[in-house]
């Protein structure tokens, strides 16, 4: 059975991805603080769980060591873990502390976890890597600039790793979710529902974690293996421009 690591798997998009992949893969799902949510995922799917702060080099190395102990190979890495800023502040007032916290988790962490996984996969001459980014990679929100910058950087990371790993047989993809119903948007969910009903999205419904999970499924099943570097917009058409 193929193997997969899904970071940030205990809740939200990551949980949806882990549930979908567990049908066909042996999965390690990481979590940072909510062990109860991770244990619930484990009970539901039978996947392995591993506590990991993706911003920590020590934790990243421990995760890969754990995966090597459990699996003979690694077929799929899904870089999903990410955080929103603890406080939303206009960029004129934003703090360096929160900037560093968001960038370390959302950009530096997956970039260097990919480095570790890519070395393993390159030795196999096969593998797939997914970065879950956001429409915030190109949509400016001036009250959470650090989040937008982290996701824009992650989009470039996809291009870099896709270019570097193509000849090693490792395919790299970006999934760019739009407005997805998760804990992260719970505080503004009603507002988004109203904006979507008013025409924010061509497909007038909010996305669900399963929508993102199905895009990962297509990658995991090899349906896009001649499309390394591809960006999959899972956003209800938000990226479209129309007059």
| Each residue's pLDDT tens digit, 133-167 | 999 999 999 999 999 999 999 999 999 999 999 99
Cβ atoms < 10 Å from Cβ of 48: 18
111 is catalytic: no
Closest CA relative to residue 28, chosen from 57, 69, 56, 58: 69
Per-residue pLDDT, 242: 84
CATH says 3-233 is which class? alpha beta
Closest CA relative to residue 73, chosen from 166, 161, 216, 170: 170
Per-residue pLDDT, 186: 80
- Long-range Cβ contacts of 24-33 (<8 Å, 24+ apart): 24/220, 24/221, 25/1, 25/75, 25/76, 25/220, 26/1, 26/2, 26/70, 26/71, 27/3, 28/3, 28/4, 28/63, 28/66, 28/67, 28/70, 30/5, 30/6, 30/54, 30/63, 30/81, 32/8, 32/81
Per-residue pLDDT, 188: 80
Q: Per-residue b/e over 164-183, b at no fewer than 16 CB within 10 Å?
A: ebeebebbbbbbbbbbbbbe
Per-residue pLDDT, 187: 79
- Pick the catalytic residue: 31, 111, 147, 226? 147
**Which class for 218: exposed (0-12), middle (13-18), buried (19 or more C-beta within 10 A)?**
middle
Cβ atoms < 10 Å from Cβ of 81: 25
Closest CA relative to residue 146, chosen from 182, 96, 80, 81: 96
In a structure prediction context, what are the per-residue pLDDT tens digits for the chain, which is 243 residues long?
999 999 999 999 999 999 999 999 999 999 998 899 999 999 999 999 999 999 999 999 999 999 999 999 999 999 999 999 999 999 999 999 999 999 999 999 999 999 999 999 999 999 999 999 999 999 999 999 999 999 999 999 999 999 999 999 999 999 999 999 998 788 788 888 899 999 999 999 999 999 999 999 999 999 999 999 999 999 999 999 987
What's the rounded Cα separation, in Å, for the pair 229 and 156?
A: 10
Most distant CA atoms of the chain, gap in Å? 55
User: Per residue in 93-119, pLDDT tens?
Assistant: 999 999 999 999 999 999 999 999 999
């Amino acid at each position: 059975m193929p193997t997969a690591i899904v970071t940030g798997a205990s809740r939200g998009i990551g949980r949806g991805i882990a549930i979908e992949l567990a049908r066909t893969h042996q999965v390690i799902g990481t979590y940072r603080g909510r062990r109860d949510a991770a244990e619930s995922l484990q009970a539901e799917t039978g996947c392995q769980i591993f506590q990991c702060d993706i911003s920590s080099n020590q934790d990243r190395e421990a995760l890969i060591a754990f995966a090597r102990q459990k699996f003979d190979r690694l077929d799929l890495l899904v870089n999903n873990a990410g955080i929103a800023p603890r406080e939303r502040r206009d960029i004129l007032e934003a703090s360096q502390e929160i900037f560093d916290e968001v960038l370390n988790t959302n950009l530096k962490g997956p970039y260097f976890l990919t480095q570790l996984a890519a070395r393993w996969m390159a030795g196999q001459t096969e593998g797939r890597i997914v970065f879950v980014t956001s429409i915030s990679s190109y949509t400016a929100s001036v009250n959470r600039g650090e989040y937008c910058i982290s996701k824009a950087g992650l989009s470039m990371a996809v291009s870099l790793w896709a270019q570097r790993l193509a000849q090693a047989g490792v395919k790299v993809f970006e999934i760019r979710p739009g407005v997805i119903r998760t804990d992260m948007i719970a505080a503004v969910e009603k507002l988004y529902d109203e904006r979507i009903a008013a025409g924010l999205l061509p497909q007038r419904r909010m996305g669900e974690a399963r929508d993102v999970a199905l895009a990962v499924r297509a990658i995991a099943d090899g349906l896009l293996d001649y499309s390394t570097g591809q960006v999959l917009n899972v956003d209800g058409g938000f990226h479209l421009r129309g007059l």
